[in-house]
Amino acid sequence: MLGIKGRKPAAVVIEPIARTLLRARISPNMVTIVGALCACIVAIALIPQGHLVWAAILTALFTATDMIDGTMARLRGGGTKFGATLDATCDRITDGALFAAITWWLVYSYDAPGILVVSALVVTVSSQVISYVKARGEASGFTINGGLVERPERLIVGLLGIGLHGLGVPYAVDIAMYLLAIGSVFTVIQRLIIASRDPRACDTIKPPAGAPDSQQLQPEHTA
């Protein structure tokens, strides 16, 4: 929901940074890799140790590179297919590291109730599934846009939850995980419904190369 709407206001800050990096001969792919690596290190190193405020701030800064690399690619005349694949891959790794670290902290430091741990696990898994449904649907020729909880919403709510908890706000992380769990499951279902209503949803797909076709699978009739 916030992905497209948030780009225009952010462009005022992001575009000058992107231009500076391009002048320094730094490629968008380099920014993608470094940003994802730093975000993962921060999440894994700080969150399980309970340094939640710094983890939230630094993770937010490093995940902002997701906008910088895209702007750099646009300024260079357009991104590449490999760049888009790399960016999506790094996003999934970063999301997984962040919510896995939060789950670890909930279990071993927060003494969270079982339902909260389950909610965090649901968020960790569904954050991958939401993106996969879109990617697989588009590979099948569907148009799957939007969703209640996309990556920006996940990051904002998740980081706000741990950051506010680190500042002493009671139940901030609990509320964040419950909201994300419900919203993420809803978004998976929402995107599957969008895919099922696509005009091409019932089109048959070709079997993989070398696989037997339907005629070969029919039983032979013997006299």
Q: Please list the active-site residues.
A: 91
Rounded distance between C-alpha atoms, residue 100 and residue 48, angstroms: 10
Q: State yes or no: 87 annotated in a binding site.
A: yes
Q: State yes or no: 92 annotated in a binding site.
A: no
Rounded distance between C-alpha atoms, residue 194 and residue 192, angstroms: 5
Whole-number Cα distances in Å, 20 to 62, 77, 78, 84, 212: 17, 16, 17, 21, 55
| SS3 category, 191 | helix
Q: State yes or no: 191 annotated in a binding site.
A: no
Q: State yes or no: 213 annotated in a binding site.
A: no
Rounded distance between C-alpha atoms, residue 44 and residue 55, angstroms: 9
Rounded distance between C-alpha atoms, residue 183 and residue 153, angstroms: 10
Helix axis angle for 172-196 and 114-139, nearest 10°, is 30
Rounded distance between C-alpha atoms, residue 169 and residue 176, angstroms: 12
Q: State yes or no: 203 annotated in a binding site.
A: no
Q: State yes or no: 66 annotated in a binding site.
A: yes
Q: In this structure, what token pair is assigned to residue 11?
A: 């462009």
Q: State yes or no: 74 annotated in a binding site.
A: yes
Q: In this structure, what token pair is assigned to residue 10?
A: 């952010």
Annotation: binding site = 29-32, 66, 69-70, 74, 80, 87, 91
Annotation: binding site for Mg(2+) = 66, 69, 87, 91
Annotation: binding site for a CDP-1,2-diacyl-sn-glycerol = 29-32, 70, 74, 80
